[in-house]
């Protein structure tokens, strides 16, 4: 292995799902800066096209990950156009913050359909392509909520734990074909989707103080960990989750005992 090019993605084709905004946008731009040929897929095609316009050689297309046929078709188009699909990064998820006793069946189905079924559709479709070509790397975004939870986050946390198990299962099944599958576990990140929390000073500060770094993450701080997992630097890393949470899951409380 060339140690000088561990993070170099030159010549690799990367599909970034959710690349029209937030974390996905930052990751798509970061992958392109490392030399990848990037295709930005997003349910908001206008947003995907706007990001692609800033990335030389990038493509953009609409994709709803809830639609299994659409996911397969999108990957087939990429392979037809670019010859291979080396990297798939899947960032989208939704959340309905409600206590269990107030959750409706429709809300449950909506969260599960995007977060869990959508992630499964991506894993299955990417696995089909990559096992056939005998190589590739898949990264699906989970969360710290795969490990820890708070009131109103039960269904979201359930899906994020499910994603982690999907990743582990995919790694065991695809590994013999040279395909790696991993997850990223962000903490709290400043994106358009978290704007309502940031607007509430008490809520914002509570989350900031839960991190041992005392702040939220920026979307661009998800780029390095994600690109590590898809690069040759992580060639022996599969079936795991990389937490990018500022120490959120490491710390057990905030009280400092006397004398410390």
Active site residues: 156
d(CA 212, CA 199): 22
C-alpha Rg value of the chain to the nearest Å: 18
Cβ 163 vs Cβ 142: under 8 Å: yes
Which contacts (CB < 8 Å, 24+ apart) does range 8-12 have? 8/34, 8/35, 8/231, 8/232, 9/34, 9/35, 9/36, 9/87, 9/227, 9/230, 9/231, 10/34, 10/35, 10/36, 11/35, 11/37, 12/36, 12/37, 12/84, 12/86, 12/87
Q: How far apart are CA 13 and CA 40, in angstroms?
A: 11
| SS3 label, residue 43 | coil
């Amino acid at each position: 292995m060339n140690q000088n090019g561990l993070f170099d993605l030159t010549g690799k084709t990367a599909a970034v799902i959710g690349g029209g905004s937030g974390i996905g946008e930052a990751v798509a731009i970061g992958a392109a800066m490392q030399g990848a040929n990037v295709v930005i897929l997003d349910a908001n095609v206008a947003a995907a096209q706007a990001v692609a316009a800033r990335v030389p050689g990038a493509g953009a297309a609409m994709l709803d990950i809830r639609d299994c046929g659409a996911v397969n078709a999108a990957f087939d188009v990429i392979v037809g156009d670019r010859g291979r699909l080396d990297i798939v990064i899947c960032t989208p998820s939704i959340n309905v913050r409600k206590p269990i006793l107030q959750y409706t069946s429709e809300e449950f189905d909506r969260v599960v359909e995007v977060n869990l079924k959508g992630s499964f559709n991506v894993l299955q479709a990417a696995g089909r392509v990559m096992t056939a070509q005998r190589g590739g790397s898949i990264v699906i975004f989970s969360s710290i909520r795969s490990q820890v939870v708070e009131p109103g986050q039960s269904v979201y946390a359930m899906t994020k734990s499910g994603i982690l198990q999907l990743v582990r299962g995919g790694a065991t099944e695809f590994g013999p074909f040279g395909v790696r599958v991993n997850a990223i576990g962000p903490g709290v990140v400043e994106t358009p989707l978290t704007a309502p929390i940031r607007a509430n000073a008490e809520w914002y500060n509570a989350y900031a103080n839960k991190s041992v770094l005392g702040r939220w993450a920026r979307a661009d701080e998800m780029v390095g960990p994600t690109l590590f997992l898809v690069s040759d630097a992580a060639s022996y890393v599969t079936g795991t989750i990389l937490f990018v949470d500022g120490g959120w899951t490491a710390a057990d409380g905030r009280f400092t005992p006397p004398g410390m």
